């Protein structure tokens, strides 16, 4: 479906974004609103006010890639955030379900084995 994989990090903007923005405008939102680095390799996800459009911005090593999806009917489910944060982290499988129209509120996920930490540049970084 998308050119993403589970080893990337995914961040969803909690506030609506003007979908007329292109790559440069969305990079500005990432830097100024989400306090992120658009060249980090993370995927930044933006929804419009009506939640019928989504844009995903990612740096793939030598340039930006911008995915855009517009629904003909219906809307994407709002991502719940427990705080007043400008962005929330999301797992890859949850992103795929959200974009596919599966309600994350009603999904029951069974416990699975998960690594407690990963080694990145000889540093131990806790996994989400």
Do the Cβ atoms of 54 and 96 come closer than 8 Å?
A: no
- 121: in domain: no
- 84: in domain: yes
- 120: in domain: no
24: CB partners within 8 A, 6+ apart: none
pLDDT per residue over 70-114, tens digit each?
Answer: 999 999 998 876 677 888 898 888 888 888 888 877 777 777 776
**Strand ranges for the chain from DSSP E:** 10-13, 43-47, 53-59, 64-70, 87-90, 117-120, 123-126
- 122: in domain: no
Range of the domain at 68: 10-106
pLDDT at 86: 87
């Amino acid at each position: 479906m998308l050119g993403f994989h589970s080893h990337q990090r995914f961040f969803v903007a909690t506030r609506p974004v003007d979908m007329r923005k292109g790559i440069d405008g969305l990079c500005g939102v990432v830097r100024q609103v989400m306090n992120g680095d658009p060249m980090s390799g993370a995927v930044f996800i933006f929804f419009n006010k009506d939640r019928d459009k989504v844009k995903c911005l990612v740096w793939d090593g030598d340039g930006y890639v911008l995915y855009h999806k517009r629904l003909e009917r219906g809307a994407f489910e709002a991502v719940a955030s427990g705080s007043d944060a400008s962005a929330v982290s999301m797992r890859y499988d949850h992103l795929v379900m959200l974009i596919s129209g599966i309600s994350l509120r009603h999904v029951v996920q069974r416990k699975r084995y998960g690594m407690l930490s990963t080694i990145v540049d000889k540093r131990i970084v806790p996994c989400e």
